[in-house]
Amino acid sequence: MTGLAVSVPSAVLDLPWPFEREYMQLALLAGVVVGACAPLIGVFLVQQRMALLGDGIGHLAFAGVAAGLLLEVWPVWTALLVAAGGALVIQWLRRRGTATGDLALALIFYGGIALGVVLISRAGAGSVDILPYLFGSILTVEPGDVRVVVVIGIVIVASIALLGRVLLASVLDEEAARVAGLPVDAVGSLLAVLTAVTVVAAMRVVGVLLVAALMVLPVASSRLIARSFRSTVLVAVAVGVVSVVVGLVAARQWALAPGGSIVLAATAAFGVTVAARGRGRMVRV
Amino acid sequence: MSFAYGDEKVVDDVSFSLAPGEFVALAGPNGSGKSTLLRLLLGLLRPDTGVVHLFGVDPHALSERARLGYVPQRRVLAPDLPVTVREIVATGRLARRGWWRRARANDRAAVDHAIESVGLAELARRPVLELSGGQQQRVLIARALASEPELLVLDEPIAGVDADSQRLFRDSLVHLVAEHGAAVLLVSHELGAVADDLDRVIVMKRSVKFDGPPAELTASGVSLGIHDDDLPLWLEAIE
């Protein structure tokens, strides 16, 4: 369906409980990729005071999914298109000074959800088809979904590996980065598009309503532990991946909603970090 | 050149030049247009009338941006983000090495040298959050030095920093001018630390009111220390 030539496990691997079944292995692969990539983007968004950008774009992705259902196109493509377009509009509004960061987000937030509701009502699809995108349904992902997630993950990791230093320079001191001739606007736009891409990748894992959590919560934890930007990134990625694994195990063990379980695991990680720091038992890395 | 924010003219018919290896201070009371003038020089603003030439070309057309170092007016850098001194200074090397390239040995050496030249070698791996205000300001200077600039522009770099930081700041600027033949344009209310090293002082209040050697300015009753009172009084007198 997707036409992407990426190999994902089609046979059941010999993994221990709770990942012994194929659907859990697909969920694990998709979840780990998203759990690693979302904080990679989030670390820059948080520093830009744009932590809620993922939320705003999630609402746009919802409108994109609704458009896909209306047009009978695979909703992932329409979500990607609408989310990336909206992300660029937010950047444009901020750059022009037409709207401050939070106002630009609010415009997208409410515009996106309203558009989604209108399109859903027009499609007459009812609420059943949209629910997996709103709240995630990682346990029902198919190999085609996982292929898309893996490709998106490769794009995100490669982009950050190439542009991470410029992004760091830009979010630390935009004016100095401009004076140095760094492509501040271009990488800002790219970060917005990568955010949109990450949201779409995470859509089936935790749902558009919780997607920003995986971008922000692991970063919030890592900033309490880390002593360098490098370790901030690595710890955030580790927390994201562990949250996904713990969330999936909990969901399987107690028949919980996996999207919510993953985000609660990330929230718990933050709570543990804060508590350990308060007791002075934190080893900074 | 001239520049106005709306109807308010903040830079009025200003003209001056800097030669390689010159150490020049730009002084003036608050609101005199110094920071706006810097932004015009750096290409962050465009003049309403007149032209700016940076290394002979319009700042917007300058392709070799690494020739220009800039230390902005700021105290706290990355208030929440754990980022080390070295990581911040390394971002200053991106323009020189090419942001799309991996750092090579000479890039790493330039970053180390910049950190050493502001006396922060022992704190290179320390998060900037743990440094004093003066040390953080030196990090910003090291970041600008990392690109080995031919012109270093500093906006109020030593406002409120400790005496030790001021001495190290002065040493790093003198080193840059003496060893690399770089020009330095320093905007500051506090010129005491570099008074003996300056070639020229430009006093500005919308337009240039004085442009000459520091001795000539001090002879007319203006101190080069914190000039909260004497400079405005002197400007009032000559106006």
**Superfamily the domain A27-211 falls into:** ABC transporter involved in vitamin B12 uptake, BtuC (1.10.3470.10)
For residue B52, is pLDDT > 90? Answer: yes
- Please give the pLDDT value at position A263: 94
CB contacts < 8 Å between A and B, how many? 82
Nearest CA in chain A to B153: A179
Please report which confidence band the pLDDT of residue B67 belongs to, taking 50, 70 and 90 as the band edges: very high
The two beta strands, B23-27 and B200-205, are parallel
- pLDDT tens digits for range A82-132: 999 988 988 888 777 665 667 777 878 788 889 888 888 887 755 557 788
Per-domain residue ranges of chain A: 27-211
Percent of chain A exceeding pLDDT 70 equals: 91
Which residue in chain A has the smallest CA separation from B101? A162
Q: For A4-13, B96-105, B158-167, which range has the lowest pLDDT when averaged over its residues?
A: A4-13
A-proximal residues of B, 105-134, CB under 8 Å? 125-127
**Residue in this structure with the two tokens 């990729």, named with its chain if needed:** A33
At residue B142, the pLDDT reads 93
Under an 8 A CB cutoff, do B99 and A179 touch?
no
- Give the CA distances from residue A69 to residues A64, A65, A73, A115, in Å, rounded to whole numbers and listed in that order: 9, 6, 6, 13
Please provide residue B35's backbone torsions phi and psi, each rounded to the nearest 5 degrees: -65, -35
B35 touches chain A (CB under 8 A): no
- Residue B68 in contact with partner chain A when CB distance is under 8 A: yes
Residues A32 and A149 sit within 8 Å (Cβ to Cβ): no
Give A265's pLDDT tier (boundaries 50, 70, 90). Answer: very high
B228's tokens: 């909260």
* pLDDT tens, residue by residue, B196-229: 889 999 999 899 999 999 888 888 877 776 555 6
Q: Residue A280: its pLDDT value, please?
A: 64
- Stretch among A41-50, A157-166, B43-52, B225-234 having the lowest mean pLDDT: B225-234
A223/B contact by beta carbon, under 8 A = yes
The yes-or-no verdict on residue B190 having pLDDT over 80 is no
Q: Alpha-carbon distance B84 to A227, whole Å?
A: 7
* Confidence at residue B195, expressed as pLDDT on a 0 to 100 scale: 82
Average pLDDT, chain A: 87
Q: What is the pLDDT of residue A281?
A: 56
Question: What is the predicted pLDDT for the residue at A1?
Answer: 41
State the smallest CA–CA distance between residue B95 and chain A in angstroms.
Answer: 6
> A10 pLDDT exceeds 80?
no
B74, A178: Cβ pair inside 8 Å? no
Please return the burial class of A127, using the count of CB atoms within 10 Å of its CB with bins 0-12, 13-18 and 19+. Answer: exposed
Torsions phi, psi for A161 (to 5 deg): -60, -35
Kindly provide the b/e burial profile for residues B3-41, where b requires at least 16 CB atoms within 10 angstroms of the residue's own CB: beeeeeebbbebeeebeeebbbbbbbbeebbbbbbbbbb
User: Nearest-5° angle of CA B191, CA B192, CA B198?
Assistant: 60
**Distance separating alpha carbons of residues B188 and B23, to the nearest angstrom:** 13
Distance CA(A167)–CA(A149), nearest Å, equals 23
Alpha-helical segments (H) within B163-208: 163-180
Question: By the CB < 8 Å criterion, does B104 face chain A?
Answer: no
Q: Render pLDDT for A11-50 as a digit per residue (tens, 0 to 9).
A: 578 888 889 889 999 999 999 999 999 999 999 999 888 8
Chain B partners of A179 at a C-beta cutoff of 8 Å?
A: 42-44, 65, 68, 70
B135 close contact with A: CB closer than 8 A:
no
Which pLDDT band, with edges at 50, 70 and 90, does B116 fall under?
very high
pLDDT greater at residue B191 or residue A266:
A266
pLDDT tens-digit series, residues B16-45: 999 999 999 998 888 889 989 999 999 999
pTM of the model: 0.87
Report helix, strand or coil for A77.
Answer: helix
Q: Looking up tokens 């010159």, which residue turns up?
A: B22
Whether residues B83 and A178 touch (CB distance < 8 A) is answered with: no
pLDDT band, residue A251 (cuts 50/70/90): very high
**Structure tokens, B162:** 């400790």
* Distance, CA of B162 to CA of B179 (rounded, Å): 26
| Mean pLDDT, rounded, for B7-15 | 92
Contacts of B62 in chain A (CB under 8 A): 181
Percentage of chain B beyond pLDDT 90 is 49
φ, ψ of residue B186 to 5 degrees: the values are -115, 120
Closest by Cβ to B82, choosing from A175, A177, A229? A229
For the residues A214-224, what does the mean pLDDT come to? 95
The ipTM estimated for the assembled molecules is: 0.89
**Measured between CB atoms, does A164 come within 8 Å of chain B?**
no
Which residue ranges form the domains of chain B, and what is each CATH number?
3-238 (3.40.50.300)
Asked if B44 has any chain A CB less than 8 Å from its own CB, the reply is: yes
Q: Phi and psi (nearest 5°) for A3?
A: 75, 15
3-state DSSP helix/strand/coil % of chain B, to nearest 5:
40, 20, 40
C-alpha separations of A84 from A63, A150, A151 in Å: 12, 18, 16
pLDDT band at A7 (very low <50, low <70, confident <90, very high): low
> Could you identify the residue written with the tokens 């080893």?
A283
Chain B CB within 8 Å of residue A181 CB: yes
3-state SS track over chain A:
CCCCCCCCCCCCCCCCCCCCCHHHHHHHHHHHHHHHHHHHHHHHHHHCCCCCHHHHHHHHHHHHHHHHHHHCCCHHHHHHHHHHHHHHHHHHHHHHCCCCHHHHHHHHHHHHHHHHHHHHHHHCCCCCCCHHHHHCCHHHCCHHHHHHHHHHHHHHHHHHHHHHHHHHHHHHCHHHHHHCCCCHHHHHHHHHHHHHHHHHHHCCCCCCCCHHHHHHHHHHHHHHHCCCHHHHHHHHHHHHHHHHHHHHHHHHHHCCCHHHHHHHHHHHHHHHHHHHHHCCCCCCC
Among candidates B30, B8, B14, which has minimal Cα distance to B209? B14
Write the pLDDT tens digit of every residue in A185-205: 999 999 999 999 999 888 878
Determine the pLDDT at residue A127.
53
* Sign of the alpha-carbon dihedral angle for A212, A213, A214, A220: positive
Q: What confidence score (pLDDT) does residue A3 get? A: 44
Take residue A238 and report the two structure tokens written for it: 């580790």
Q: Does A165 touch chain B (CB under 8 A)?
A: yes
Question: Residue A2: pLDDT above 50?
Answer: no
